[in-house]
């Protein structure tokens, strides 16, 4: 089976690693996600991953209450590095060659983000997991995914969620809601659909970088997306 994309940027929320747990990392869920990534990597697809930290930061929510926003955001960035390390370790255990790059310098733990080195790793067939978001407070990991996707020359940003696409309404509240197979950036804006946060969405639109929103919990969904099948919702330019 031929892949439709040579290089992708996969955006994983920290919550995707929790499974049914309240917070933390569910190893069974991580192993399932890694298996999905390994499947597309074997097709020759170059995979970059941006991961959030909400699963770990939930456990610190009480301590972070009332904290200065910038300080809380930096703590969140550190949480994403922890997730990136856990994900890369699981990938290596599954036989994938993975590297972690951090937008914050923690040289004793992971290497710093260097665009040229990241691209070289991808060309060598390694999975690159980007931690610490953009390295700046007030920017989400959605924005980091759009930024890294544009920087490494990804052909698409894949946003992995718990829902299998973008719907006309919330499918949990409205059983008649229909999934969009494809939708343009302009129509998504007109309908006020929350695809990515506004900054990330604008960056993808300006860079003509398409987005696909799909469910990472649907077996084989990632492979179907990268092979161009009707999976998730494609937001196109």
Q: State the binding site.
A: 11-14, 53-54, 58, 73, 134-141, 161, 167, 170
Q: Give the annotated binding-site residues for ATP.
A: 11-14, 54, 58, 161, 167, 170
Q: How far apart are CA 137 and CA 120, in angstroms?
A: 28
Give, rounded to a whole angstrom, the gap between the first and last alpha carbons of the chain: 26
Binding-site entries for UMP: 53, 73, 134-141
């Amino acid at each position: 089976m031929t892949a439709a994309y040579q290089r992708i940027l996969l955006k994983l929320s920290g919550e995707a690693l929790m499974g049914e747990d309240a917070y933390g990392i569910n190893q069974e869920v991580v192993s399932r996600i890694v298996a999905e990534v390994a499947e597309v990597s074997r097709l020759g697809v170059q995979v970059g991953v941006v991961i959030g930290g909400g699963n770990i930061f939930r456990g610190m929510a009480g301590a972070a209450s009332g904290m200065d926003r910038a300080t809380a955001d930096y703590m969140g960035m550190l949480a994403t590095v922890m997730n990136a390390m856990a994900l890369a370790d699981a990938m290596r255990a599954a036989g994938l060659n993975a590297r972690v790059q951090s937008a914050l310098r923690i040289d004793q733990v992971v290497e710093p983000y260097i665009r040229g080195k990241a691209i070289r790793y991808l060309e060598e067939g390694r999975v690159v997991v980007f931690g610490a978001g953009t390295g700046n407070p007030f920017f989400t990991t959605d924005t980091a995914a759009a930024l890294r996707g544009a920087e490494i020359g990804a052909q698409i940003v894949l946003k992995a969620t718990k829902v299998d696409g973008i719907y006309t309404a919330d499918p949990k509240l409205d059983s008649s809601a229909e999934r969009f197979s494809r939708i343009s950036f302009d129509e998504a804006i007109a309908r006020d659909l929350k695809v990515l946060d506004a900054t990330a969405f604008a960056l993808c639109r300006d860079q003509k970088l398409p987005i696909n929103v799909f469910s990472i919990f649907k077996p084989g969904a990632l492979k179907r997306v990268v092979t161009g099948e009707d999976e998730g919702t494609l937001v196109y330019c």
